Each structure stands twice: as C-alpha cells, then as structure tokens.
C-alpha cells in the first residue's frame, strides 16, 4: 500500500522551468526575481508592500524587530502554534506571553487577551495565528491594539489566499493588513505554496517596509543624503543588528510560479475538506474541522478532534497514512517550562491537543486516496 503524507507540495513542469531559467540568469540572489515575487505577492494579498525572506521564522523575527519590540516587554500569542511564533518574540529579546485559545475556533481567545492586558502593563504587541487557515478575530484584536497601543503581527503561515468578512460587510483578504501592522507567511513545502524554504511579510506602512528591507540583510541601508551617495557610492551603513535573512532569486522564481496556482489549489483543498466532513457525517467519534460561517477559508490543515486520538494515530500510521498532530502546546516544550510555564496552564489548548489529528490535505490528494483514509477511520471506530 502506498504512503499518504499529511501534506505535500505540488511542483509542475512550469515551476521547474522557472528555476532552470533563473539558474542560467545573471543573478542567483539579490536580483530581479525577488522584487517580482514581492510585487506579485503584495498584489495577490492586497497590501502595499511585501518583503521576501529566507523562512517564515525569519519573517516573524524581522517583523518583531521592525515593530520596535523593546527587550523585556511582552508579546501575547497562542500556545496552539508551531514554536517559531513564540520563539521569534524571545529571539528578539521580548517575552512570549502565552494566553489560552478559544474553545470554538481554537484561535487565540479574545477573553484571555483582555485578561492578560488588564493584568500586565508590559505588553507591547499581539501575534495571532490563523490556525489551520481559520482567521482569528482580527477586529477585536485591532480594537485592543488601539486601546492599549500595541502592534499586531498576523502569523498567516496557514492562511494564504483566505478571506473573511468584517462587521462593515467588507471582505478582507488575509495579508492585506487592514487590521494589523504586518502579516507573515511561510513557504515551507507543507504550506499552501512553496519556495523550498522561504517566507514573506506584507505591510501597508512605508517605514516598516524600509526597516524590514534593511533587517533582511544585516540591518544595512544606504545613506539618506543623496550628495553623499553620489560622492561615495560604496558607502553603506549598518543601523541595527541583524542576520542574513535573504531569499534567493531561484526560490523567488519558484514562488512566483507557485503563486499563479494558489487559487486553484485553495479550491481543491476546500473540496477535500467538504469531502472529509461528509465522510464523517455518521461518525460520532470524530469532530470535523471548524468552519467559519462567512468568507472563503484557505485550509492548510484538516484538523479534527478525535476520540482515542493516540490509538487512531498509531492505527493510521500502521496503514501508512502519515497523519500529524498540530500542535504540541508551546508551553509543553522544555524551553518554555524553563520560562515558567507548566502543564495545566492552558486547559482549553491542552484538551484540544489531546484530541487533535491532522488528516492528509494537499491539492494532489486524489478522491480515491481520501476515500481510503475516510474508510479506515470509520472502520477504526466501528464497534467503539
Ligand atoms: C510553518 C510555520 C511557521 C514557520 O515557518 P518556517 O518557514 O518553517 O520558518 C511559523 N508559524 C506557523 C503557524 C507555521 O505553521
């Protein structure tokens, strides 16, 4: 029997040709493909600017630094995410202040944010994660940002291409930054589009855009004075301490080619999501992925809540269905326990984790493969 992963990239002949063409061009990095990819990406999301970087983690780290995170200050985020979200805060000298998730949509809880803000005056920002692709409550988060003077960075690694409808009836595209300062994306192969490794930050703020361009490459920029630039054209200035977070032209060529297919892939993922929901209609042991009632969600995961999750995981792996668990709560990791967190701190997130299972979801998953997964799961619960 063939192995079915939980996620997998799609790479076609056009993608490969775009890489080959760039390999033979004058620039392998810091060339024209980077700006081309950024422009196309900003257009796609509806933001003014986009900055392409080497990973989603680099995108998060640069975003925190561009937002002016002051060492020792706190940034609120969810424990139901990949560790990179919280790590980016700590790597930038801040403190990752975790708050529990909402029991309905499994995103950061608005009530818990309010409690954390009232209890501590050291909070400087919020990083919501659109878990599985389901948008967090950005309107409430933006209101906190105004009332408490906070920056907001959306971690949209799961949500490229999705939309949601606000209380004014306006449809917002994830990444348009209508309710945040910046939005970050990852192009790891399991995500909606890939560049091998890669990431992007979108923003509408010209100052943040300029700052991030410098932070991408060692904090280096060119002198503001045009006379100096003319007299000494070799002079560059390093204002802020940073790393090499650059992405190559080869990767950006692939990203540009992948982006053209993002809408079609999003549609296929939604079809598969609906087929899973239908497949588990008469199965009382598995609760399907949560769905918002408006907007079009771009699903990265089909994240179900399963009875006897550990047994189901083992059973499916024995049948070569490589389901995954998203996520081990951030505060379960030894590093964060060393930062003062304990098991039991976030009961909603922990209960979610104990039942969480991510079923195979990617554009090239065939109906037949999916039917096999559904049949195996229904068979597993038969008689339980
Ligand atoms: C994938 C992911 C990241 C990290 O992205 P990389 O490109 O792997 O560095 C951060 N946050 C979330 C929610 C992710 O899913």
Q: Are 343 and 332 within 8 A, CB to CB?
A: yes
Pocket test for ligand 1, best of 9, 53, 56, 189 (most atoms within 8 A of CB): 56
Task: Return the percent helix, strand and coil in the chain, to nearest 5.
Answer: 40, 15, 40
C-alpha of residue 59 to centroid of ligand 1, in Å: 9
C-alpha torsion 220→174→9→359, nearest 10:
130
Which structure tokens are listed for 329? 């709560």
Mutate to test the pocket of ligand 1, among 128, 188, 330 (most ligand atoms within 8 A of CB): 188
What CA–CA distance (Å, rounded) separates 73 from 89?
A: 10
Alpha helices in 27-171 (DSSP H): 32-45, 56-66, 83-91, 110-119, 138-148
**d(CA 73, ligand 1 centre) in Å:** 23
pLDDT tens string, the chain, 384 residues long: the values are 789 999 999 999 999 999 999 999 999 999 999 999 999 999 999 999 999 999 999 999 999 999 999 999 999 999 999 999 999 999 999 999 999 999 999 999 999 999 999 998 899 999 999 999 999 999 999 999 999 999 999 999 999 999 999 999 999 999 999 999 999 999 999 999 999 999 999 999 999 999 999 999 999 999 989 999 999 999 999 999 999 999 999 999 999 999 999 999 999 999 999 999 999 999 999 999 999 999 999 999 999 999 999 999 999 999 999 999 999 999 999 999 999 999 999 999 999 999 999 999 999 999 999 999 999 999 999 988
Report how far residue 95's alpha carbon sits from residue 339's, in angstroms, rounded to the nearest whole number: 9
């Amino acid at each position: 029997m063939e192995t079915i992963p939980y996620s997998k990239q799609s790479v076609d002949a056009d993608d490969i040709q775009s890489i080959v063409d760039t390999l033979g061009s004058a620039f392998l990095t810091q060339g024209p493909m980077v700006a081309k990819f950024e422009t196309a990406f900003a257009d796609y999301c509806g933001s003014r600017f986009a900055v392409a970087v080497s990973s989603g983690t680099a995108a998060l780290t640069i975003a925190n630094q561009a937002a002016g995170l002051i060492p020792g200050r706190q940034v609120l985020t969810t424990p139901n995410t990949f560790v990179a979200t919280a790590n980016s805060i700590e790597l930038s000298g801040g403190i990752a202040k975790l708050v529990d998730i909402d029991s309905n949509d499994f995103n950061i809880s608005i009530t818990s944010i309010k409690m954390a803000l009232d209890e501590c005056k050291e909070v400087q920002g919020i990083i919501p994660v659109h878990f599985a692709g389901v948008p967090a409550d950005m309107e409430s988060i933006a209101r906190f940002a105004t009332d408490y003077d906070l920056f907001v960075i959306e971690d949209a690694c799961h949500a490229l291409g999705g939309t949601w409808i606000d209380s004014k009836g306006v449809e917002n595209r994830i990444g348009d930054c209508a309710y945040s300062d910046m939005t970050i994306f990852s192009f790891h192969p399991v995500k909606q589009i890939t560049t091998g490794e890669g990431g992007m930050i979108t923003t509408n703020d010209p100052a943040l855009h300029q700052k991030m361009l410098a932070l991408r490459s060692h904090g280096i920029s060119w002198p503001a004075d045009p006379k100096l630039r003319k007299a000494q054209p070799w002079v560059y200035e390093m204002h802020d301490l940073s790393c090499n977070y650059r992405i190559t032209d080869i990767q950006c060529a692939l990203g540009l080619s992948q982006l053209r297919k993002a809408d079609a892939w999003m549609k296929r993922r939604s079809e598969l999501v609906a087929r899973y929901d239908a497949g588990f209609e008469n199965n009382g042991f598995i609760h399907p992925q949560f769905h918002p009632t408006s907007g079009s969600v771009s699903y990265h995961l089909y994240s179900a809540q399963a009875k006897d999750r550990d047994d189901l995981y083992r059973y499916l792996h024995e049948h070569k269905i490589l389901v995954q668990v998203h996520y081990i709560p951030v505060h379960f990791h030894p590093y964060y326990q060393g930062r003062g967190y304990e098991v039991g701190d976030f009961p909603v997130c922990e209960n979610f984790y104990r039942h969480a299972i991510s079923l195979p979801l990617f554009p090239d998953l065939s109906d037949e493969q999916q039917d096999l997964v559904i049949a195996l799961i229904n068979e597993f619960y038969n008689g339980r």
